Amino acid sequence: MSLRVVLAGWLLCCAAAVSLPALADESDTGRIHVTGEGSAALAPDMATLSLTVTREGDTASEALAANTEAMRQVMAAMRKAGVADKDLQTSQFNISPRYSRVDPRSGDDDQGPRIVGYQVRNGLTVRVRDINLVGKLLDSAVQQGVNEGGQITLGNADPAAAIDRARQQAMRDALSRARVLAEAAGVKTGRILEIQEQSFHGGPSPAPMYRMSEMAMADSVPVAGGENEYRVNVSLTIAIQP
């Protein structure tokens, strides 16, 4: 047997002797699993409006022409109020026939529903970057022909700072819980082995849709901003020492 083979075998044995205890120590390390919670509130600084124009006509072209004219006026009013083109987006468009109702008591099996007109629905999503304008924009939209929708969603253009505050609070909460558990168990916390995060936007639900008739009668639609809440949960796995 050559000296090279003997040396190679000796090195492999040394490597095994060094690595096996290390693996055993890692696998035998006790651990604590904790979850921390954090939240931060932020006043909304923007809103999203969902507006719909619905028009009917004897023919599809008549309904489309009426709807198109009304939507043009609505979009012009939004632009005049200061809404940028990039904040106006068509959200839906639909042309559907309207059918006559068949009286089942007539006894005429051959008499089926027939088309008596058409309906055109055109939806518009408006991003409002100044929530103080929301009530004014809703009033203007109704005056220009919006007769469906009216849902308002209040949000924040950049909630990153609030979410970071919630993360820090969640981490402090998790570490505090780990220390309390370790002290109660008579051990000490070691290094953090794993971190997992879950973020939630727990702000208020979108404002309910107003009836267009109520909007038309109101001097100004009241809109309360409130606060949006951003929540973060952090899960930690921490090694413990005797």
Are both 57 and 142 inside the same structural domain?
yes
Q: What is the predicted pLDDT for the residue at 11? A: 44
Q: Which two tokens stand for residue 177?
A: 């819980």
Q: Are 222 and 136 in contact (CB under 8 A)?
A: no
* CA angle in degrees (0–180, nearest 5) for 132-46-75: 75
Are both 71 and 96 inside the same structural domain?
yes
Q: What is the predicted pLDDT for the residue at 114? A: 85
Q: Are 240 and 31 in contact (CB under 8 A)?
A: yes
- Tokens 């981490």 found at: 171
H/E stretch holding 131 reads none
Q: What is the pLDDT of residues 113-154, one digit of tens each?
A: 788 999 999 999 999 999 889 989 999 999 998 998 878 999
CATH number at residue 81: 3.30.70.2970
Quote the number of domains for the chain: 2
pLDDT-derived band of residue 172, with 50, 70 and 90 as boundaries? very high
Asked whether residue 170 is domain-assigned, the answer is: yes
* Range with the poorest average pLDDT among 28-32, 55-59, 124-128, 164-168: 28-32
Q: What is the pLDDT of residues 178-234, one digit of tens each?
A: 999 999 999 999 999 999 999 887 655 444 444 444 444 445 667 777 889 999 999
Number of Cβ within a 10 Å radius of residue 242: 6
Strands (E), 129-181: 148-155
From the list 51, 226, 238, 17, the residue with the least C-alpha distance to 137 is 51
Q: Which residues contact 79 (CB under 8 A, 6 or more apart)?
A: 85, 88
Are both 218 and 122 inside the same structural domain?
no
What residue numbers bound the domain in which 52 lies? 46-101+113-155
H/E stretch holding 115 reads strand 115-128
Q: Which residues contact 202 (CB under 8 A, 6 or more apart)?
A: 39, 229, 230, 231
Cα distance between residue 165 and residue 241, in whole Å: 30
